Each structure stands twice: as C-alpha cells, then as structure tokens.
Amino acid sequence: MVTLTRHVIRQVTLQTLFGLSANLDAQPEAVIMQALAGDPELENVTEVPAEVLDLVQKVQAYTDDADLMISKYLIEGWTLDRLNLIDLEIMRIAIYEANQGDVPTKVAVNEALNLAKEFTDDSSAKFINGILSKVLTF
C-alpha cells in the first residue's frame, strides 16, 4: 500500500473535485482512480485511498459554507460562477481544512498557494491569496 503525503492527498482531491464538477454523474471513487492513474508515481495504486475519498466528501459537504464565505469578498458584480473553477476548488479545500479540519490556517493557505502554482498561474495565486487572507483572517 502506498502512503500518500498530505500534499498529494490535496492534489488528488483537487483533481477529483474538478472532475466531479465537470461530470455531475461521475462517482468520486472513479474520478479519484483516474487522477491517480494520471500520475506515474501513483498509477500502481489499486484501491481508492481512504484519506482522499474522506477529504473529497468533507469538502463537498462544506461547499455551501465555503462558497458563502468566498462570495462575501468578491468585488461587486462578480459571482461564484464567474470564477475559474480550479481556483474555486482550491479555495474550498483550504477553507474546509482551516475551519473544519485539523490544519492550521497558515498551512491551509500555504498549501492552497502551492496547488495554485501547480495548477493555475500567478494571477490566480494572487487572487486565491487575497480571498483566503480575508476569509481566513489569521
């Protein structure tokens, strides 16, 4: 059994949440396995890692709360549906982890910025940092 780092768990969670938002009929387990298969270091994982499925489900359950927090800090005229979906999913993970998980706020924000650097661009990372610094005042 492969042990996944917290960062890899977040990466796969992000990819899974993004995939699920694109295909509402997909099963989380199938999307998780797809994400794992896309990583050469993880393609031999044969079972859905419980840590990933757990985080996916918890972030999904917390989405409405996270979205309300994010919405409060969007500039006038902007709504969640105008945001880049990957940015939104990164912020949802960070907000869940900081508010409901066992992750210190600074770590949640730092991990969100690392994911943004991997999956988006500099302007998205700055946007994510700005929103999270307001939502997760630390």
The closest of 100, 136, 129, 133 to 115, measured between CA atoms, is 129
124 belongs to a structural domain: yes
Highest mean pLDDT among 42-46, 52-56, 100-104: 52-56
103 belongs to a structural domain: yes
Output the pLDDT for position 137: 81
Q: What CATH number has the domain bearing residue 42?
A: 1.10.940.10
How many Å apart are CA 115 and CA 11, to the nearest integer?
7
127 belongs to a structural domain: yes
Other beta carbons less than 10 A from residue 72's beta carbon: 10
Q: How confident is the model at residue 48 (pLDDT cuts 50, 70, 90)?
A: very high
Q: Which pLDDT tens digit goes with each residue over 63-107? A: 999 999 999 999 888 999 999 999 999 999 999 999 998 899 999
**Counted domains in the chain:** 1
**Treating both helix axes as pointing N-terminal to C-terminal, what angle do 6-22 and 50-71 enclose, rounded to 10 degrees?**
70
Q: Among 29-43, 47-61, 78-92, where is mean pLDDT lowest?
A: 29-43
99 belongs to a structural domain: yes
1 belongs to a structural domain: no
Output the pLDDT for position 1: 55
Tally helices (H) and strands (E) across the chain. 6, 0
Q: Among 8-22, 28-42, 81-95, where is mean pLDDT lowest?
A: 28-42
How many Å apart are CA 34 and CA 43, to the nearest integer?
9
Domain extent at residue 84 = 6-135
- Predicted TM-score (pTM) of this structure: 0.93
77 belongs to a structural domain: yes
